[in-house]
Amino acid sequence: MKIKDILDKRTPTLSFEVFPPKTEDKYESVMNAAMEIARLEPAFMSVTYGAGGGTSQYTADIAAALKDQAGVTPLAHLTCVSSTKEKVRQVLSQLKEKNIENVLALRGDIPEGGPVAKDFRYASELIDEIKKAGDFCIGAACYPEGHVESANKTIDIEYLKEKIDAGCDFVTTQMFFDNNILYNYLYRIRERGITVPVVAGIMPVTNIGQIKRICQMSGTALPVRFKALLDRFGDNPGAMKQAGIAYATEQIIDLIANGVNGIHVYSMNKPDIAGKIKENLSEIIN
């Protein structure tokens, strides 16, 4: 099923993300985690793409297993900045063969020392390529706080508009911890004429080291209320997990109450966290 058709129904949806292993010895445990999350019957599941594309086969295989063995609609991520056109075409034909209809088109982070291939500069160019390859439903990333490399949010929204005009059907946001940032962003992109569904990316923070690193890299702001949780519970893994899940749940309930229907949880291959969030929303998203 195409994700745009799922999102067009305008009812609250919950989806989860998994990431493929870096090495073969972890493949089985990642696949087991993905299948366990799939049993929660999410609206769809995304499978990320390893930087550089070295694990692209795992992304396609996990996405296909989610569809064929668990009956869950998969969204396969694809990055382009370190890829040649040939490699991108090869991945797309592999996805087509496996009947995977949804692709999240990304530039990817530029590796230290610059891109290793020069065929693609931006995700919008990848969207052009995907459009040529077949009838895919295409998603892209967006950044409520602006992408780290952008001079300002206005220019970032202009480049988002280029991705939409290239044929992107929906967008998923970078994680954020203050819903007001998303509401302000939605207002600004709608004003710019961007009308595609926006799926809110929510990260349940259960590990303080991980979040400090990610926020440094992505420029995501940590609200005072959220910092207090990290300060108070950061040294106690059990308490941090409980507090992180509660914070994410509260964020999601507020989003749905304010009309944001698409909720994507960065579940980080953790079925227990995905399960708790689902349980907390059992009467809100069903």
Active site residues per annotation:
17
Shortest distance (Å) from residue 206 CB to ligand FAD: 19
Phi-psi bin for 158: left (phi > 0), alpha (psi -120 to 50), beta? alpha
Nearest to 247 by CA among 262, 260, 232: 232
**Applying CB under 6 A, which of residues 56, 124, 249, 267 lies at the interface with ligand FAD?**
124
From CA 44, how far away is CA 16, in angstroms rounded? 7
CA 201 to chain centre: 6
Minimum CB distance to ligand FAD, residue 232 (Å)? 28
Q: x/- contact string, 142-161, with ligand FAD (CB under 6 A)?
A: -----x-xx-----x--x--
d(CA 18, CA 8): 24
Cα–Cα distance between 277 and 165 in angstroms, integer?
Answer: 34
Task: Identify whether the C-beta of residue 15 lies closer than 8 Å to the C-beta of residue 264.
Answer: yes
Decide if residue 188 touches ligand FAD (CB under 6 A). no
Nearer to ligand FAD, 143 or 247 (CB): 143
Selected from 141, 194, 203, 273, the binder of ligand FAD by CB under 6 A is 141
Identify which of 123, 164, 173, 114 has the alpha carbon closest to the alpha carbon of residue 143. 173
Using CB under 6 A, which of 109, 119, 128, 272 touches ligand FAD? 109
- Cα 49 from Cα 197, distance rounded (Å): 22
Q: Map residues 30-59 to x or -, x wherever contact with ligand FAD holds by CB under 6 A.
A: ------------------xx-x--------
List 55, 73, 79, 220, residue binding ligand FAD (CB under 6 A): 79
- Helix 85-97 crosses helix 56-70 at what angle (to 10 degrees)? 10
| Residue selected from 13, 56, 83, 172 as contacting ligand FAD according to rule CB under 6 A | 172
Shortest gap between Cβ of 175 and ligand FAD (angstroms)?
A: 8
CA distance 42 to 286: 10
Nearer to ligand FAD by Cβ, of 20 and 234: the residue is: 20
Which residue in this structure is represented by tokens 């929660």?
40
In the complex, the residues that contact ligand FAD under the rule CB under 6 A are: 48-49, 51, 77, 79, 104, 106-109, 122-124, 141, 147, 149-150, 156, 159, 162-163, 172, 174, 201
